[in-house]
Chains A and B, each alone.
Chain A
């Protein structure tokens, strides 16, 4: 029921692709001025399109500019040059209709779990009874029923990140931006969270842009993988994963899966 409501509110983005791609990124370039030295080029040139409802992963080595790119897409940072369009509109400032999940859960210790999830609705002035109901449904969806009145300090790292995921979804964002959200979690929790993300994606139809430096994570969750080269970043490879959903852990041991991992590894220059 919650999922249906969320899907409706997603502007039917997944169902009806327009004449333009949902996300359009062309010749995105980012450099930072450095005192007394040549500017630091973080992103040389990134160009790709993102279809609505897809889950795209930005995969690359640490410090390659993938987080910078995600921030540019989210309007949290402006690019030095290039075109960044979502739904045909240029992104120049933060977009309240996007959801963001960071590497750290970034929960407010003084708020209960429920109040943390409702934070975006408060800022957007839509914190009504319906929002509260939606928040409870989301928490149930991620397996946190009964924890509404707990404080973040009482939760484990994985549970905190689930709350952060609910907070990013509460205002039914058009685009979910995730910056290494499972990077700080242990391996088993991480695999659990990957399944949870895919489950939520299936139920909400959200378009997701996900940053990671884990090859297996990228292959396991993605429709598409954009492999970033070392800094200054260019697109080293654009991999259409093509494995069927729902993905299961057994798939990790299949030949197609390892072939995709191998291809990503080659694009990253770590295998031949």
Chain B
């Protein structure tokens, strides 16, 4: 590992360590009730004691987030392509998209539960709805930001619209698409948890709520930590995919 790589790994960990230690000292020094604020050690103990429950409850939340995110990618990218390449489609659908985006997702979650039930489907739909917007907006921006010089080059060779899209516009939009996907994947986890809060039979959000109602704060916090780890892992997966799909951006950095 290079000096820079070590530095890039050490300092974020140091930041976390400082907060965790300060937190531990604070809860012990002031004898804070573990119901109000469990110490990091309490959370760690709860996490270790309930690791099988946490792992089992992570699975549905993981599936809801990932499937909702993938659905947003599969539907969002073609939608953005249509909106970015046709003035008429843009005028017809873009205002609706903005309008739906301004509806708070927490507010429509109960309605979606009525439509899709207490199972996984309703959470998947909510995750999809929150992930859809950043993917569409960034993909459309990326396609519009295609360097005009490349389009002129393609025109000079009389490239077909399909060739121009596949060989120029889409690859040119990839950095934007991945920027949108990174935002979307973390939002998808939030969407899934909102769904679980409103009504569910399992998932980390469900576990968090039930632990909270039993005043088992260490377990509720443990569920919260697992949720953020889940979000970080999904974000990292998208970042890895970005490096694999766009090797050129990696070489640009070094």
Contacts and interface: CB of A to CB of B under 8 A. Distances in A.
Nearest to B247: A151
30 contacts: A75-B156, A76-B152, A76-B156, A94-B156, A94-B157, A94-B158, A96-B157, A100-B153, A102-B149, A104-B149, A106-B147, A106-B150, A106-B153, A108-B171, A108-B172, A109-B248, A109-B249, A109-B252, A110-B172, A110-B248, A119-B153, A119-B167, A122-B167, A123-B154, A123-B157, A123-B163, A123-B167, A151-B248, A151-B252, A153-B251
A220 interface: no
A35 interface: no
Interface of B: 147, 149-150, 152-159, 163, 167-168, 171-172, 174, 246-249, 251-252
A100 B153 CA distance: 8
B156 A98 contact: yes
Contacts of A151: 247-248, 251-252
Nearest to A107: B150
Contacts of A98: 156
A144 B155 CA distance: 27
A74 B246 contact: no
A151 B248 CA distance: 6
A152 to B, nearest CB: 8
* Majority secondary structure of chain B interface residues (helix, strand, loop or mixed): helix
Contact of B171 (A102, A110, A120, A123): A110
A123 B156 CA distance: 11
Nearest to A102: B149
Nearest to A106: B149
A256 interface: no
B251 A108 contact: no
A153 B157 contact: no
Contacts of A189: none
Contacts of B155: 76, 94
B137 to A, nearest CB: 22
A154 interface: yes
Q: For B153, B158, B172, which residue has the most chain A Cβ atoms within 10 angstroms? A: B153
Nearest to B254: A154
Contact of B156 (A100, A110, A111, A122): A100
B149 A153 contact: no
Interface of A: 74-76, 93-96, 98, 100, 102, 104, 106, 108-111, 119-120, 122-124, 151, 153-154
Nearest to B150: A106
Contact of A123 (B149, B159, B252): B159
Given A94-B155, A124-B157, 8 more contacts: A94-B157, A96-B156, A104-B149, A106-B149, A110-B171, A120-B157, A123-B158, A154-B252
A74 B168 CA distance: 21
Nearest to A100: B156
A1 to B, nearest CB: 26
Q: For A122, A123, A153, which residue has the most chain B Cβ atoms within 10 angstroms? A: A123
A110 B174 contact: yes
Nearest to A104: B149
A94 B150 CA distance: 15
Contacts of B171: 108, 110
Contacts of A94: 155-158
Nearest to B148: A106
B160 to A, nearest CB: 8
B236 to A, nearest CB: 23
B95 to A, nearest CB: 27
What 3 A-B pairs are tightest by C-beta distance, nearest first? Answer: A106-B149, A153-B252, A123-B157
A34 B251 CA distance: 46
Contacts of B251: 151, 153-154
Contacts of B152: 76, 100, 102, 106
A108 B153 CA distance: 11
Q: For B149, B156, B252, which residue has the most chain A Cβ atoms within 10 angstroms? A: B156
Contacts of A104: 149
Nearest to A112: B248
A95 B38 CA distance: 73
